[in-house]
Amino acid sequence: MRLENKTAIITGAARGIGRECALRFAEEGADLVLLDVAADIDGVGYPMGGRDQLDHTAGLCRALGSAVLAAAVDVRDLGQVEAAVRSAVDRFHAIDVLVNNAGIAAPSGAELHEITEPDWALMLDIDLTGAWRMIRTVAPLMVGRRAGSIINISSTAGLVGYRRFGAYVAAKHGLIGLTRAAALDYAPFKVRANALCPGSVRDDPMVEGRMLAEIARSLDVPAAEHERVFVRDQPMNALMEPGDVADAALWLAGDGSRQVTGSVVAVDGGFSSR
């Protein structure tokens, strides 16, 4: 029970990596604040996680023994973020872990000069500035307690470039820079900040993931072939599983990583080492 007596906020918790992190944290004793936009977003060309999926994640975690607060929150809206954090503190009194997982993979599939300004702004507003809004709101609470772990879910796109994904690459690189800056700002207060960089994560139907399929769609890779196509680029000849990312997040959330801050942990089967 590595997270017993700890409370974690997880954004993008309705499905995919967010749900998997919530389940692993629940198994290890954490109480949870599960946030998700829980609605479609104009400009994103695929369905976002819904309120029913967020509630399903919450129910699974309660069945594992966690106390859970679930709320529909758009990380583009500072007022919504602040209200959710106030509710979390009212319920649980303290926040020990923040997992910034909310993100989008599209609009993508265009060369840099083809990206529209609204599409560029949307990607950065969610994938980068959304994490900053969460840190801006939660970090002072952690500083006041002289304890806390901030985990930003970046990507191998934060480590290397990808063709036709310029806005996504910029946002995920920016998230690593934000992580390192936060680590230095908050180190004197024993608050840690680290980034995880998943590689190609399989869309496990158990957590209703669809990110890899959407990336494939943006690259015009046929749906029936996309896993085989992505595996070709993997040094370990396998896609990552959501649990691989959640296990790394669990380590960064717990006391076993108490001297780890400002680190960038690639969970990519060696992809970024090439």
| 186: annotated active-site residue | no
Question: Rounded CA gap, 253 and 118, in Å?
Answer: 35
Over residues 235-243, the mean pLDDT reads 95
- Which pLDDT score, from 0 to 100, does residue 13 have? 98
Contact by Cβ (8 Å): 191, 184: no
The residue count of the chain comes to 274
Select which of 46, 162, 168, 186 is catalytic: 168
Q: Which residues contact 234 (CB under 8 A, 6 or more apart)?
A: 199, 200, 269, 270, 271
User: What is the reported pLDDT for 35?
Assistant: 98
What whole-number distance in Å separates Cα of residue 204 and Cα of residue 208? Answer: 6
Tell me the two tokens of residue 19. Answer: 């749900």
What per-residue string of b and e applies to 198-233 under the rule 16 or more CB within 10 Å gives b? bbbbbbbeebbbbbbbbbbbbbebeeeebbeebeee
The answer to whether residue 223 scores a pLDDT higher than 80 is no
Assigned token pair, 31 = 């109480």
Please report the pLDDT score of residue 81 as a whole number. 98
DSSP structural state of residue 156: G
Of 69-73, 216-220, 222-226, the range with the highest mean pLDDT is 69-73
The pLDDT tens digits for 131-164 are: 999 999 999 999 999 999 999 999 999 999 999 9
Beta bridge partners of 36: 72
All domains of the chain in start order, with CATH = 7-211+241-262 (3.40.50.720)
How do residues 40-80 score in pLDDT, each as one tens digit?
Answer: 999 999 999 999 999 999 999 999 999 999 999 999 999 99
Whole-model pTM: value is 0.97
* Cβ-contact 235, 269 below 8 angstroms: yes
Tokens of 112: 């840099």
Percent of the chain whose pLDDT exceeds 90: 91
pLDDT, tens digit (0-9, with 9 covering 90-100), for 78-134:
999 999 999 999 999 999 999 999 999 999 999 999 999 999 999 999 999 999 999
Measured CA distances, 135 to 94, 189, 191, 197 (Å) = 15, 14, 11, 18
Q: What is the pLDDT of residue 211?
A: 87
